[in-house]
Structure 1
Amino acid sequence: MAQTTTSRTTAAPLKIVALGDSLTAGYGLPPADAFPVRLEKALAANGRTPRPVTIVNAGVSGDTATDGLARLDWAVGDDVDGVIVELGANDALRGLDPAVTRQALDEILTRLKARGLPVLLAGMLAPPNMGPEYQQAFDRIFPELAAKHDVLFYPFFLDGVAAERGLNQRDGMHPEAKGVGVIVARILPQVEALVGQAAARRDGK
């Protein structure tokens, strides 16, 4: 056990970029409560990852999927080992054409896969007030793209938090610190799988 712990501690950290919008950036929260920071601490605390992990906050409030695509190349540098893609919430809130959102996310995943980077795609669901037709067109984007590109998939980033008054800020859309804790706890197994893929890639396995 001690030998494993020592080798894990001395190994170079894996660098995972969280590419997202305000839900990643930590809108309305102290920096220490932002999703990437809390996720990195959770990974360190459970000790199940093969290497230490650094989670980079590449969240920009207000970003759509198209905005994320526009900054992809500089947000995800050559030293990155894996990527969490969390985009689409603003597309749905603004009622953007789901075809535009799909095209942008498709291109993001295409570029990341071309670089051989492991990816975890975090899904988003359209608000009910957008109507059933829009909901159906939007919601299917994420599982279909995850299957197309064979990437890890977490169906709904706000699972367990959306519409829960005690877990969200006054705007009803952005999670409070407690809400971020719920998100981290629920998505953690998929992130651990991503880290495993990133470690195998780094080690050339």
Structure 2
Amino acid sequence: MAGAQTPPSNASAARSLKLVAFGDSLSAGYNLPGSAAFPTVLEQALRQKGLAVEIVNAGVSGDTTQGGLERLDWSVPDGTDGVILELGANDALRGVDPALTRKNLEAMIVRLTERKIPVLLAGMYAPRNLGEDYAKRFDAIYPELAKTHGLVLYPFFLEGIAGDRALNQADGLHPTAEGVAVIVRTILPTVERFIASLPPRS
């Protein structure tokens, strides 16, 4: 009889955790085979740690925060346990007003929160050639949103590879497969902390 009372928890334990990597070309795996894209490599790293996790690649090359906001609802399906939100790099490259980038990111965070889907916010820094004022305003977006909404924050998605020619493609903007491996290795402890913070699944 005791065994008859346990199937719900056993069933939930057997189900893989479903995360969505929602971002631009940096998470989509621009110019790389699917096996070398950030979501796939991260999923493998988490599985090696014994975590049953499935990560959907919802990265779209060239996407801005505005584009992300417009596709959010259909890109993040019901039943998603958490979202890694990695957007904003293209806003900075285009010189979009940081106030608009902030507004779009916050709208996405609020919409996901309303759906009870936790968010790990992956931050970005503005290119320094846009000037000190722009960089200061843009860089502040991510830590301030994380603080306001109580999110797990990874301050800089390109930590460990930015500016390193050996870890970036010829354009100097997109990681090579080796670069993705560095990103995953560096972000992994934060993702593990995020997963540990997720509410129990029903």
Range class of TM-score, shorter chain = over 0.9
Hey, what does 1:185 align to over in structure 2?
185
Hey, what does 2:166 align to over in structure 1?
166
CA distance in 2, matches of 1:84, 1:16: 7
Hey, what does 1:3 align to over in structure 2?
none
Hey, what does 2:115 align to over in structure 1?
115
CA distance in 2, matches of 1:190, 1:69: 24
In 2, are the aligned partners of 1:19 and 1:58 still within 8 Å (CA)?
yes
The reply on whether 1:202 has 2:201 as its aligned counterpart is: yes
CA distance in 2, matches of 1:71, 1:148: 24
Identity among equivalent positions (%) equals 58
**TM-score scaled by structure 2?**
0.92
**Which residues of 2 match residues 93-104 of structure 1 at below 5 A?**
93-104=93-104
Deviation at 1:202, TM superposition (A): 0.9
Deviation at 1:195, TM superposition (A): 1.8
Higher RCO, 1 or 2 (CA under 8 Å, sep at least 6)? 1
Question: Which amino acid in 1 is paired with 2:40?
Answer: V
Deviation at 1:190, TM superposition (A): 1.2
**Which residues of 2 match residues 67-78 of structure 1 at below 5 A?**
67-78=67-78
SS of residue in 1 equivalent to 2:135: helix
SS of residue in 2 equivalent to 1:136: helix
Question: Which amino acid in 1 is paired with 2:201?
Answer: R
Question: Which amino acid in 2 is paired with 1:20?
Answer: G
Deviation at 1:160, TM superposition (A): 0.6
Deviation at 1:44, TM superposition (A): 0.5
How many residue pairs get aligned? The number is 193
Hey, what does 2:124 align to over in structure 1?
124
Deviation at 1:148, TM superposition (A): 0.6
Deviation at 1:197, TM superposition (A): 2.9
CA distance in 2, matches of 1:83, 1:98: 22
CA distance in 2, matches of 1:181, 1:104: 29
Question: Which amino acid in 1 is paired with 2:123?
Answer: G
Return 150-159 or 187-196, whichever deviates more. 187-196
Runs (4+) off by over 4 Å = none
Hey, what does 2:138 align to over in structure 1?
138
Deviation at 1:201, TM superposition (A): 3.2
Hey, what does 2:45 align to over in structure 1?
42
Q: Which structure 1 segments of 5+ residues have no match?
A: 1-6
In 2, are the aligned partners of 1:143 and 1:155 still within 8 Å (CA)?
yes
CA distance in 1, matches of 2:104, 2:38: 23
Query: Which has the larger Rg?
Result: 2
Aligned with 1:15 (options 14, 18, 27)? 18
Hey, what does 1:29 align to over in structure 2?
32
Q: Which structure 2 segments of 5+ residues have no match?
A: 1-9
In 2, are the aligned partners of 1:23 and 1:174 still within 8 Å (CA)?
yes
In 2, are the aligned partners of 1:118 and 1:197 still within 8 Å (CA)?
no
